[in-house]
Amino acid sequence: MLVGHALANAAPQASRGRLIRIIDATSVPKKGPGARKKNEVWRIHSAFDLPQERFGHRIDRSAGWRDAGSIPAVAGEIRLADRAYLQLDRMATLLAAGADFVIRAG
């Protein structure tokens, strides 16, 4: 682990010191026949911090997909996301926080 850390620190910084986050969500069925009959799922929203190669933020909720908007933006961050995040209120929140974004659109 220490060697990997040392090598990572010596590598060129493609992000030029900026946090690059990949935001995504998935659903996982809850276990048990009762949960399956009701189609109960866990919704997992995550932010993978690319320069650090680690998950920096995670939300596990069953309330709904809009919870992903509660992953706080960091000034200078570059956020990568799919078309589910192509919503004006989410993009305005990122811009207000001083973050940039790249969102795939259909």
Question: Cα–Cα distance between 22 and 26 in angstroms, integer?
Answer: 13
CA dist 59 to 16, 45, 75, 97, Å?
Answer: 28, 5, 20, 20
What is residue 15's predicted lDDT score, i.e. its pLDDT? 62
pLDDT digits (tens, 9 = 90+) for 49-58: 888 888 877 6
The pTM score is 0.67
Distance set, CA 89 to CA 86, 92, 96 (Å): 9, 5, 10
Taking a C-beta distance cutoff of 8 angstroms, is the pair 30, 41 a contact? yes
Is pLDDT at 99 greater than 60 in this prediction? yes
pLDDT-derived band of residue 68, with 50, 70 and 90 as boundaries? Answer: very low
Percent of the residues in the chain that have a pLDDT greater than 70, as a whole number:
73
Q: Which residue has better confidence, 79 or 46?
A: 79
Instruction: Report H helices in 11-99.
Output: 33-37, 88-96
| CATH for the stretch 14-103 | 3.30.420.10
pLDDT in tens, 24-49: 888 888 888 888 788 888 778 888 88
* More confident site: 65 or 100: 100
How many Å apart are CA 23 and CA 44, to the nearest integer? Answer: 11
Above 60 in pLDDT, residue 101?
yes
